[in-house]
Amino acid sequence: MEFKLREEDFVLDKCECLGGADTLFGEVFGFEKYDYIISNPPYFKLAKSDEHTRSCVRIVDGQTNIYAIFMAICAKMLADEGQMIFITPRSFASGRYFQSFRDFLFSQVHIDFIHLFNTRKDTFSKDEVLQELVIMKMHPAGDITNIIVSFSHGISDLRTPYQKEYPAGDIVDVTSGEKVVYLPQNGRDEAILRLFRSWDGTMEKYGIKISTGPVVAFRAGDYIVNEPASDTVPLYWLHNVVKMLCDHPVRKKDKGQYIRVTPETKAALLLNKNYVLLRRFSSKDDSSRLVAAPYFGNVTKSEFVGIENKLNYIYRPKGHLRRDEVMGLTALLDSELFDAWFRTFNGNINVSATELRMMPLPPIETIREIGRKIILRNDYSIDYINDLVLDYFKIL
C-alpha cells in the first residue's frame, strides 16, 4: 500500500471544492476524487469568525461544528461509485444550526447504513467522548429505497447488533424542508414514529408559539435581586422548572429570583399570563430530555414576569393559553412518549425551539381533554402522567 501523510489543515486546504461543480475529468477545482473515504474527524464548535467557518459559508448557518465541514468536503470529493464512512456525533440529525449542512450533504450523498450505540459511557469512556456518536456509510446521491439502521448497547455486542431495514423516507425524507434524520432503536420507537406522523396538528395550526426566554442574565445582572420589592417581578431560571411544577422562589447562589422593572429591563419582560416553561438544556445523563412545567398568571399579581434565557416558553400571542391547554401540553412534553419521540432524532442536550415548532401534535381537543383529566384528578405525578398519555394513544 502506498500512502501520503499530509500535515496541511484539511478544511482550509480543500474548502474550495464546496463552491465548485464537478469537471469532465472527475475532479473538483483540481482536487482528486476518492473511491473510499474513512474518517473520524475532530468534534468542536466553531465561532462565526473562525477562518474555517468563513471558508465554508455555503454549509454554515449559525454556530456549526467542525466535523460537519469535514463531512461536507469529503462528500464533494467522493467518486461516483465511492463510499465514505464517518464516525460523528448525532447532533447534525436535526436543528437549525445544521440545516444548511443537511441540505448540502443530502444533495451530494445518501446514507445507506447507520449504526448507533445505546450509551456513550461503555463505548467511548476511555476517550472521554461526551457526544452520542453514530457510524455511517454513505454513497453518492441517487435513487435509494432502503436504509439499514443498526444498534448495539456498546462494544461488547457490536458483532451481534439489532439491525432493521427501513424505507429511506422513514429515516430521512430528503424532499422535506427540514431533512431530519430519525433513528428508531426498536419496534416501540417505530410505533411512536408512526403515531406522531399520523398527527397533523402543530403549534402554528393551534395559534401557539414557542420562544426563548428574553432575560439574558449577564446583561441584566444589575437588576436581578434576591428579595422581592415593590418594583420587582418574579424571575424564572432553569432550576425553577421541574416536571409538572414551576417552583418559585428557589434560592441558589448567583440566581436571584426577582428582577426590577425599569426602562432598561422592560423590553425583556413578558406579560404575566399563562405559559408552558421548558428547559432548553438537560444533563447528558438525565432520564428525560424534555422537562416542562405549567405557569399560570394568577400565581402573582405582578403585571410582568421574567423568563431567563435558558428556558423556552410556549404561549398564545393573540389571547392566552387556556388552563386545560397549559396542563395538556405540559403533560405531553413531560411524558415518556414525547421524550422517546424526541430522542429518535436528537442526540445532544439541547432542546431547541426550532425542533419543537416542527413537533406534530394530536388534535387540540385531545390536548385539552388530557389537561382537564389532570386538573380534575389533581394528580401531577409523572407516573400518572405517563399512564394517562400512554393509555390515550395505546402505546405499550
The CATH number given to whatever domain includes residue 234 is 3.90.220.10
Which of 58-67, 77-86, 144-153, 307-316 bottoms out in mean pLDDT, i.e. has the lowest? 58-67
Residue-wise pLDDT for 320-330, tens only, equals 999 999 999 99
- Work out how many domains the chain is built from and give that number: 2
One domain for residues 154 and 89: yes
Model confidence at 284, pLDDT cuts 50, 70, 90, reads low
Question: What range defines the domain where residue 253 resides?
Answer: 209-393
Same domain, 214 and 356: yes
Mark which of 153, 185, 217 sits at the end of a domain.
185
In a domain, 197, yes or no: no
Domain assignment of residue 196, yes or no: no
73, 117: one domain: yes
Same domain as 316, residue 281 = yes
- CATH code, 176: 3.40.50.150
Residues 267 and 144 in one domain: no
* 203 inside domain: no
For residue 129, name the pLDDT band (cuts at 50, 70, 90). Answer: low
Whether 202 maps to a domain, the answer reads no
* Helices vs strands, H then E, count in the chain: 13, 19
Identify the pLDDT of residue 121. 52
In a domain, 2, yes or no: no
User: Each residue of 115-148: b (16+ CB within 10 Å) or e?
Assistant: bbbeebeebbeeeeeebbbbbbbbbeeeebeebe
Closest CA to 340 of 153, 210, 186, 211: 186
Q: How far apart are CA 322 and CA 315, in angstroms?
A: 10
Residue 32 and residue 173 in one domain: yes
Same domain for 138 and 236: no
The answer to whether position 194 is within a domain reads no
Query: What contacts 148, CB < 8 A, 6 or more positions away?
Result: 112, 113, 114, 163, 164, 165, 166
Q: Which residue has the cell 476511555?
A: 126
**Same structural domain, 248 and 302:** yes
Which pLDDT score is estimated for 25?
44
* pLDDT(29) > 80: no
pLDDT for res 285: 55
Does residue 3 form part of some domain?
A: no
3-class secondary structure, 345: coil
Q: Are strands 304-307 and 232-236 parallel, antiparallel or unpaired?
A: parallel
Distance between CA 84 and CA 138 in Å, rounded? 5
Q: Indicate left, alpha or beta for 149 from its phi (over 0: left) and psi (-120 to 50: alpha).
A: beta
Residues 181 and 260 placed together within one structural domain of the fold? no
The amino acid present at 58, given as its one-letter code, is R
Does 199 reside within a domain? no
pLDDT tens track for 328-370: 999 999 999 999 999 999 877 788 888 899 899 999 999 999 9
- Average pLDDT for 297-306: 96
Average pLDDT score over the chain:
91
